[in-house]
Amino acid sequence: MATPAVSSPWWRSERTRARLLSLLLMAVVLGVWHLATLPKVAAGPALTPEQVEYMKLMGKDPGGVAGGSTASNFPTLAVMGATIWSSITDPFYDNGPNDKGIGIQLAYSLGRVGAGYLIAALVAIPLGFAIGMSPLVHRALDPFIQVLKPISPLAWMPLALYTIKDSAASGIFVIFICSVWPMLINTAFGVAGVRREWLNVARTLEVSAWRRAVEVILPAAAPTILTGMRISMGIAWLVIVAAEMLVGGTGIGYFVWNEWNNLSLPNVIFAILMIGLVGMALDAAFGRLQKAVTYVD
């Protein structure tokens, strides 16, 4: 078979084929979903009006039973589609504390994550510099880091609620405490690993401590620091959902829990999807940032 040496057709490129495969997988998942939520029409005996009345009184849907039985109360694709459409077309409505648009809820969560994360970065990066540059500080702080690092961030919640006495601030604190460790450890590791010869260049050029930190150590350690920041952001976004379920009030985590209490599975599924998409966007943003500071040695 003679293939033209010029350029392979569009469907030959791996990228296109991977995309097609992804679409196929999605179609399969949606297909299974559709089939699983299809109402089963069984030719059962028709119910008497008394039976229908009884079932209604018991809070069951006689229509579904009459047609045999629906597989479950899991939303169908059509219901999902309608939910997604209505949420996306009106993301910022506010009908009181228990009924806010998805956009508002996400904004609350992102705001908390942003605040906690920013404070964590402001603490972790300078402290990481200190640990990375001074073996003494490293040894002194290491036991604390080793003990505090493995604690689940949610375990801090009762303590935070008691001491801070404010649920919103407690949420921010939990984000702070979970995102501080990867940034701190990676910054310290990156700073400690800066090549001796670059530091020697700075020394022979009588570079000031500030310039050395900003112009030599920071760019040299930036890829490692950014990796830590990316991990931290991932963890923060994982934790915010759980934290908001506990704290309540606002945010995407609270939204999921509230919709579960409302037994609105379409909204729960939609919220789950949004959590995934926002998490992906955050990670992609940090991925770009990481790429921007990475250097080839």
Partner 1 sequence: MSTDFLKIEGLGKAYPGAAEPVFEGVNFGIQRGEFVCIIGHSGCGKTTILNTLAGLEHSSEGHVFMDGREVTAPGLERGVVFQGHALMPWLTVGQNIAFAVRSKWPEKGKSEVLSHVEKYVQMVGLGAAIDKLPSQLSGGMKQRVGIARAFAIEPKMLLLDEPFGALDALTRGTIQDELLRICAETKQTVFMITHDVDEAILLADKILLMSNGPRARIAEIVVNTLPRDRSRAGLHHDPQFYPLRNHLVDFLVARAKDLSHGRAPTHPPQVRPGLLAQAA
The residues of the shown chain that bind partner 1, judged by CB under 8 A, are 195, 197-198, 200-201, 203-207, 211, 215-216, 219-220, 222, 293, 295-297
CA atoms of 227 and 293, how far apart (whole Å): 11
- Tell me which residue of 240, 222, 233 sits closest to 125, measured CA to CA: 222
- Tell me which residue of 38, 46, 79, 82 sits closest to 63, measured CA to CA: 46
Q: Of 83 and 187, which CB lies nearer to partner 1 in the complex structure?
A: 187
Q: Of 222 and 275, which CB lies nearer to partner 1 in the complex structure?
A: 222
- Tell me which residue of 115, 89, 297 sits closest to 193, measured CA to CA: 297
Q: Do residues 231 and 182 touch, judged by C-beta distance below 8 A?
A: yes
Q: Of 34 and 203, which CB lies nearer to partner 1 in the complex structure?
A: 203
Could you tell me the two tokens for 261? Answer: 């209490």
Q: Do residues 259 and 250 touch, judged by C-beta distance below 8 A?
A: no
- Residue 291 CB, shortest distance to partner 1, in Å, is 13
- Residue 121 CB, shortest distance to partner 1, in Å, is 21
- Residue 185 CB, shortest distance to partner 1, in Å, is 22
Q: Of 14 and 197, which CB lies nearer to partner 1 in the complex structure?
A: 197
- Residue 209 CB, shortest distance to partner 1, in Å, is 13
DSSP helix/strand/coil, 94: strand
Q: Of 207 and 213, which CB lies nearer to partner 1 in the complex structure?
A: 207
- Tell me which residue of 56, 79, 29, 28 sits closest to 265, measured CA to CA: 79
The three-point CA angle 200-203-205 to 5° equals: 115
- Residue 223 CB, shortest distance to partner 1, in Å, is 9
- Tell me which residue of 234, 230, 240, 239 sits closest to 151, measured CA to CA: 239
Say which DSSP state 212 is in: I
- Residue 218 CB, shortest distance to partner 1, in Å, is 10
- The distance in angstroms from the start CA to the end CA of the chain is 44
- Residue 214 CB, shortest distance to partner 1, in Å, is 12
Q: Of 89 and 204, which CB lies nearer to partner 1 in the complex structure?
A: 204
Q: Of 155 and 201, which CB lies nearer to partner 1 in the complex structure?
A: 201
